[in-house]
Structure 1
Amino acid sequence: MTTNLRDDDKVLLVKVDHSAALAADHDALYELARKWWKASATQVQPVRRVLAIVNNKVLAAYEPYRWEVATDPDLLGRVAFHGDVAPDADQWVDTDVSHLFPQGAANPVRYTTVAALKPAGGVPSPDRDDPMGQAVAPLAGEEPLILLLRINKSWHDGISDVDLYDVTRHWWVMSATKAEQVVRVLAVANGIVREAYLPVAWGPCPVPGEEHRIGFDGVVAEDRGRWVGADVSSIFPPGSQNPVRYVRAADLDMPTVGSLSGDRSIVVSSEDTSSPGLPELVNPLLKAFEADLMWAMSRGAQELFHSNTIAALLTEHPRAAAPLAGLFADDDAATEWNVWREWKHLDLVAESASGRDRFVVENKLYSVPYPAQLANYRSKPLPWAKNPGRTGDSETSYYLLSLMAPAFELPSPWRWVPYEHLLRALGRLDPTHFGEDATLVERYRVLVRRLVELKDAVDPQQDVEGPFAVKEAFGILPSKYFLGPIQRMRFSGLAQLISNEFGEQLPLVVDISKAEGSITYTRRLSDDRAVGWQFQGGQLRLFVLVQDAGLAGKGDRLAAARAAIADAEYVSLADFSSVATVLGERLGPLVQGPGEWRRFAPDFVYRYCKVDPTTSSAQLAEALSELTLHVKTWGTLD
């Protein structure tokens, strides 16, 4: 198209469709085309040409020499350029760009490259290697990527082309910078490629609370026949729940054009495929939290803030908050609720005015209570039941509302309500029915959405191949406040991974101490003895609880007595060979010498090995599953 531009030079397209009719001459058209466009001041700097688009054809072409950022409060986030008519304008005018503005796309701004604007069948210039054979390229110096997106939940036989495109193009948790390297997007359902797209432009999700998600506008790829129907299931690692997968284009053993019967497989010649890493998933959310005044107000009280908000909505707006009441009660049409906060240490206790519905809510945000705590709460006196008994009041529903899934079976009659369900109920509220509190309801919904998104993003099941250790995965967190909560969330996700690997729900305890998360498995042997394993701070411990009468407590004498019992009776327990089989060199040697035991007061005696911080979540879950089997069977096979 032009000899003085590179194929990978950036071009900005701006639609002036409706305004163009008002332009009496070229000067007026220039004024319409140059301002004010919602675009990043950083992204527009490398743009070499700005094309004014009318009815999907280039009407005028400009060469920008300076960009201006709007200062008017009504125009914040918008830019304008100063420029001249491009010297090669004749080569651009009348170019059809309909493939860059898919049907239904509302954004009038598109970034693209010189190569993407070449006529169909155009040959890329010799200084650029296009591995896909279609005129498209990432930014200079970046490696082309193929992006695989799993759409299993949305896919169904007979899905229309429009619906398939719509469910594929948004909204995905991934880096906008990484997206610039993508040259093909593959829609994958049940391991099979259903469609291949050429991404033209990427943009952020407009939903508050989902700032870490992006989507693309694009067109069906010309080489779709190389992809559609191919099996790519081997590219997604077993156990990973992340629907996003990057593959370097150079590492793909490309399929040949063939039938769409699904009998072809695409394999990767290198193991260097990846899902978005933790910083890519989480950092945009953490920055959004820092800018959220409601989150700042909630920090001091944490779950108390949420319990108080729920109580206030049920008390002050019972009709409008009916979907919220429906989380815990059948009588979601109740016009009045009696609500008690912190009643006998119970977070929230409520009764409908009719007396038909009564419920108790134990609310946990960054932690989950111990089973014994929930069992104890069942017998707490209630406003309508002074002596409910050890199993709770039969006329009352008991709920654990928590951001993270409990790593154990809840004692009856407790039932789990995840914050995802709270978010769903908040989504059914109509803020206009809350009077002066309408804005607060909307802001609270955004806060809960961010919390749910953060929990999902840090779940190790999203990237089972990545390092589990928070410091190794993140480096330096942009917000120190979230270090503890993220540790809890990571370890809660690890607990589920271990149970999945083991094949049953294990009674695992997740905790935190000195900003370090921990996970513990305990097997009770008798009233005064137990054995188990614990992982914390890179230490993998095999332990004994020595709870004999007169031996619990602080002091060297008691510690030596407990260690002597451990050395006499439990040396064979401190066997890490099952873990070494899984981790290999990632597991260090036993730190203690013969006869040496570490201890925590009042009864914890242990030996440990160090685990390499680069160990992946999948490797760690497998190792801890094997260690669980060792502890469960220890002493039973002798």
Structure 2
Amino acid sequence: MDATETDVIALLAADPLYQLSTAGQELFHTNMLYWLIKTDPAAVGPLMRDVFRILPPQTDVYHLVVERERHHWDLFVDSGMGCGKLVLENKLHSLPRTEQLDDYYRNAPDPLRTDETTFALLSLIRPTFSLPEPWRHVDYSELVAPLDAAAQILRDSGDSFGADLTQQYSHLVTLLVTVRDRYDVERHPARTVRLPSAHVRALQDARLLPLVEKLQVSGLADLIRARVGADVGIGVGLSNTHGMADFSARGVSGHRFGWQYQDGKLRLSVVLDDAVGGPWRNRRVDREVLVQNEFAEYFDFAAIPDVDDRLDPYSGRNLAWLGYEPDFVYRYRPIRPDTSFADLADMCAQLTDHAMTFAAAH
């Protein structure tokens, strides 16, 4: 772990606003924006004009209507000028989902479903999919300059407390963006996937490890998509405190064949369809027998030499098959300690092709 990463983790861990925010990350940041808009609408003029674009350039701001949790949106802002409205979904540690954004737009009242309303996803972790229309992405880094401008406007108006708090919040956002960029997989594809144990402990102490895990699997998904050459639906998430990337393709049989990466392990998997041979009364007797008899060749890592050569031997439990209730059966191999994100993306791209080819025939 180099000094710059150590420093930024320590700075963030020591930041009082960061410590106050850890009980509810998205809610804290949403509330900060709500407070700033309510405190002085003029101070957020640069934010509303340049970032969210609900006001024309050079327009003075005298009044804004801001609400929390209207129609389950994190923030709703009305410019009060007969146009220029904002629907904001805020994601800091959470990963956005296409279905959620679709639902929010579909359930919006008809008067708001016009070009005059900006539907904005504000996030620290960049989306791993193309946003559905009319949503557009706003990165947390885009808040820094308008927040600095807001602090100066508040100071010029005589509100020193509001100015200091806004400036400190801008500093917090800057630190979060810096941490994000330090772990940007696309910027650092040659970095090894597995973090050193001392590095993990530092991130845990700072309550940053879940964020870094999500950042890294999101970046991995972007690298995989670039290698596959299409948005095939690489999933990302967090399970048991570890980031996870996965893919599956539905076979002609109805079963889904795919792969997962999590915590240093690459899995080949099948999700069995209850409508085909089920319901499964006992995984060992029913499901695993079916997989062994009909799909065993899919799980042969040795049949994919460019992947097999980069994996360590399996050394886990002495079981023919592993699985989770009710329908997930898999085998795995650990990645080598020196595996880079570029290496892992290459392997996952090949496993994606392996899954799609097998699914087309089975």
Give TM class, smaller chain. Answer: 0.7 to 0.9
| Code of the aligned partner of 2:43 | A
Q: Secondary structure at the match of 1:614?
A: coil
Check conservation: 1:552, 1:602, Cα contact below 8 A. no
Pairs within 5 Å for 1:151-550: 278-326=1-49, 327-331=51-55, 333=59, 334-382=61-109, 395-433=116-154, 435=159, 436-471=161-196, 474=199, 476-477=201-202, 479-480=204-205, 481-525=207-251, 529-549=255-275
1:630 aligns with 2:357: no
Once the 2 structures are TM-superposed, how far is the Cα of residue 456 of structure 1 from its aligned partner? 0.4
Contact 2:245/2:260 (8 A) holds in 1: yes
Q: Which has the larger radius of gyration?
A: 1
8 Å contact from structure 1 (residues 541, 607) kept in 2: yes
Distance 2:304 2:184 in 1: 23
Q: Is the 8 A contact 2:88 2:122 kept in 1?
A: yes
Counterpart contact for 2:257–2:358, Cα < 8 Å:
no
CA distance in 1, matches of 2:177, 2:66: 26
Which residue identity is paired with 2:230?
Answer: E
CA–CA separation in structure 1 for the residues paired with 2:340 and 2:211:
20
Q: Matched residues in 1 for 2:260 and 2:168: separation?
A: 40
Q: 1:528 to 1:340 in 2, by over 3 A?
A: farther
Provide Cα deviations, 1:246-270, integer angstroms capped at 9, x if missing partner.
xxxxxxxxxxxxxxxxxxxxxxxxx
* Match runs of 1:614-629 below 5 Å: 614-629=338-353
**1:577 and 1:593, CA in 2 relative to 1: closer, same or farther beyond 3 A?**
same
1:478–1:624 distance in 2 versus 1, CA, 3 Å = closer
Q: Distance in 2 between matches of 1:525 and 1:399?
A: 36
In 2, Cα distance between equivalents of 1:605 and 1:360: 42
Q: Is the 8 A contact 2:43 2:149 kept in 1?
A: no
Change in Cα spacing, 1:504 to 1:550, as seen in structure 2 (3 Å) is closer
After superposition, the Cα gap between the structure-2 partners of 1:335 and 1:512, relative to the gap in structure 1 and judged at 3 Å, is same
The TM-score with structure 1 as length reference comes to: 0.51
Cα RMSD for the two superposed structures = 3.0
* Residue pair 2:123, 2:139 contacting (<8 A) in 1 also: yes
Query: What is the one-letter code of the residue matched to 1:576?
Result: F
Q: Which amino acid aligns with 1:343?
A: R
| Greater strand content | 1
Partner amino acid, structure 1, of 2:19 = A
Retained in 2: the 8 A contact 1:283–1:478?
Answer: no
Q: CA 1:573–1:422 in 2, change beyond 3 Å: closer, same or farther?
A: farther
1:296 and 1:590, CA in 2 relative to 1: closer, same or farther beyond 3 A? Answer: closer
Taking the aligned partners of 1:603 and 1:577, their CA distance within structure 2 comes to 25
User: Which residue of the partner structure matches residue 194 of structure 1?
Assistant: none
The one-letter code sitting in structure 1 at the alignment partner of 2:18 is W
Equivalent residue, structure 2, for 1:82 = none
Query: Partner of 2:173: helix, strand, or coil?
Result: helix
Q: Deviations over 1:615-634 (max 9, x none)?
A: 12221111111111212222
3-state DSSP of counterpart to 1:485: helix
1:412 maps to amino acid: E
SS at match of 2:150: coil
- Displacement, 1:574? 1.8
| Distance in 2 (alpha carbons) for counterparts of 1:412 and 1:552 | 39
Alignment of 1:567 with 2:292, yes or no, is yes
1:488 counterpart letter in structure 2: K
TM-score under structure 2 length normalisation: 0.85
* 1:577–1:358 CA distance, 2 compared to 1 (3 A): farther
Gapped regions of structure 2 (runs ≥ 5): none
What is the alpha-carbon distance in structure 2 between the residues aligned to residue 530 and residue 288 of structure 1? 45
Deviation string 1:214-254 (CA, Å, 9 cap, x unpaired) is xxxxxxxxxxxxxxxxxxxxxxxxxxxxxxxxxxxxxxxxx
Specify whether residues 549 and 632 from structure 1 end up closer, same or farther in structure 2 by C-alpha distance, changes over 3 A only.
closer
CA distance in 2, matches of 1:617, 1:473: 20
Deviations 1:498-546 (A, max 9, x none): 2223333442222112211111112234795322211012221112222
**Aligned partner of residue 374 in structure 1, secondary structure:** helix
**Quick one: distance in 1 between partners of 2:283 and 2:306?**
35
Structure-to-structure mapping, 1:2-81, within 5 angstroms: none
Which 10-residue stretch deviates more, 580-589 or 608-617?
580-589
2:201 aligned counterpart, secondary structure:
coil
2:265·2:332 contact (CA, 8 Å) conserved in 1?
yes
Amino acid at match of 1:283: T
Higher helix share: 2
Deviations 1:276-313 (A, max 9, x none): xx443421011111221111111111011111111222
The separation in 2 between residues aligned to 1:610 and 1:379, in whole angstroms, is 43
* Change in 2 beyond 3 A, CA 1:572/1:455: same
The more displaced of 451-460 and 324-333 is 324-333
Asked if 2 retains the 8 angstrom alpha-carbon contact of 1:498 and 1:624, the reply is yes
Cα shift readout 1:435-485 (whole Å, capped 9, x = no counterpart): 230001100100000000000001233433331112468363264311211
Distance 1:475 1:338, change over 3 A: closer
> SS of 1:378's equivalent?
helix
CA 571–341 in structure 1, closer or farther in 2 if over 3 Å, else same: same
The CA deviation at 1:339 is 1.6
SS in 2 for 1:531: strand
SS at 2:106 equivalent: coil
Cα distance change of structure 1 residues 307 and 527 upon mapping to structure 2, 3 Å threshold: farther
Cα separation, 2, equivalents of 1:308 and 1:449:
18
Instruction: Provide, for residues 130-159 of structure 1, a one-character-per-residue CA deviation record: whole Å limited to 9, x for no partner.
Output: xxxxxxxxxxxxxxxxxxxxxxxxxxxxxx
- Deviation digits for residues 67-99 of structure 1, max 9, x if unmatched? xxxxxxxxxxxxxxxxxxxxxxxxxxxxxxxxx
Mapped to 1, the partners of 2:322 and 2:108 lie a distance apart of 42
Displacement of 1:579 after TM fit? 5.4
Instruction: Give the Cα separation in 2 of the matches to 1:566 and 1:495.
Output: 28
Q: Pairwise mapping of residues 120-139 of structure 1 onto structure 2 (< 5 A)?
A: none
**Residues 302/610 of structure 1: CA separation in 2 closer, same or farther (3 Å cut):** same
TM-superposed deviation, 1:609: 1.5
Deviations 1:380-438 (A, max 9, x none): 345x75xx8xxx66653322111111112222222211112222432443524352300
